[in-house]
Structure 1
């Protein structure tokens, strides 16, 4: 299971999402500090809302396999600028929560996440668990183990280490196998 790092504005649904992913009953908890367990890293919304703390988001991202920007469908504004994925060396996904809100503007929030550089966007309702199974399926696909040399090779041809090799491209023979 991939470890996911959740970042977003206060009250965007990050902690409720963590509870839903674990199959727990939803209950309000104000995240006061970064919580981490085997599969999730849940950060306080203040980290994304303050220039002073936002550098912590980049630091915590190194502990995860995938980074998720969590935005409620009824958010009045966007905290994350275009191409913010450039400082995150992990796959970046978007998660839209509160999709049942009467004030939801899903097309606008989806565009914000696309502009930020999210590779994939999930629509989630933490209460009804709509979309949770799809997100869990994505997280259950383990990343292929690779050596440092294999990662460096991918980078040398302009790929991220999580990107598949293009059709017809193979690792050089001396780094082709992975020995644990």
Structure 2
């Protein structure tokens, strides 16, 4: 499996996705520090939300094969600046999370556009609650 660096805002679903992949019980667990696993690295949301911490993401990315930019369908902020992924010199994908909570298809389109602007090559949509899209994303990472 490709080693993935999970990046995104606080509460966007990075850790929940990690729990799905690793077969762990799904429960909220605020990531306080970078956590390393065989197939992925889970990062605190603050590393994405505060530009002064980008260097920590950049150094950590050296140990990965792909950057996974994650954004909740409920978060209408511009989480990733345009071209965000280019600082890593790695392939990058976008993942729209919590899709079961979308109010309209427009919400999905908006987040997709934000992830494309950030440099995502492919976009996946997932819901850890319903398992929609999880298998397709895992297959991509394998």
Q: TM-score normalised by the shorter chain: which range applies?
A: over 0.9
Higher gyration radius (CA): 1
Tell me by how many angstroms 1:59 deviates: 1.1
- What's 1:160 paired with? none
SS of residue paired to 1:18: helix
Normalised TM-score (structure 2):
0.94
C-alpha contact (below 8 Å) 1:82/1:117 kept by paired residues: yes
C-alpha contact (below 8 Å) 1:62/1:89 kept by paired residues: no
- What's 1:29 paired with? 29
**Map of 1:57-72 to 2, 5 A cutoff?**
57-72=57-72
Runs of 4+ in 1 over 2 A off after TM superposition: none
CA deviations on 1:49-87 (whole Å, 9 max, x unpaired) are 112212211111111110010000111201211122221
C-alpha contact (below 8 Å) 2:8/2:69 kept by paired residues: yes
C-alpha contact (below 8 Å) 1:3/1:41 kept by paired residues: yes
SS of residue paired to 2:15: helix
- What's 1:169 paired with? none
SS of residue paired to 1:100: helix
* Distance in 1 between residues matched to 2:124 and 2:102, nearest whole Å: 19
Normalised TM-score (structure 1):
0.75
Tell me by how many angstroms 1:102 deviates: 4.4
- What's 2:43 paired with? 43
- What's 2:131 paired with? 129
The CA RMSD measured in Å over matched residues stands at: 1.2
Q: Which runs of 5+ in 2 are unaligned?
A: none
C-alpha contact (below 8 Å) 1:26/1:127 kept by paired residues: no
SS of residue paired to 1:121: strand
- What's 1:116 paired with? 118
- What's 1:17 paired with? 17
C-alpha contact (below 8 Å) 1:47/1:56 kept by paired residues: yes
- What's 2:74 paired with? 74
The structure showing larger relative contact order (alpha-carbon pairs under 8 Å, at least 6 residues apart) is 2
Deviates more, 1:77-86 or 1:117-126: 77-86
Equivalenced residue count is 140
Higher strand share: 2
Q: 2:108 aligns with which of 106, 109, 112?
A: 106
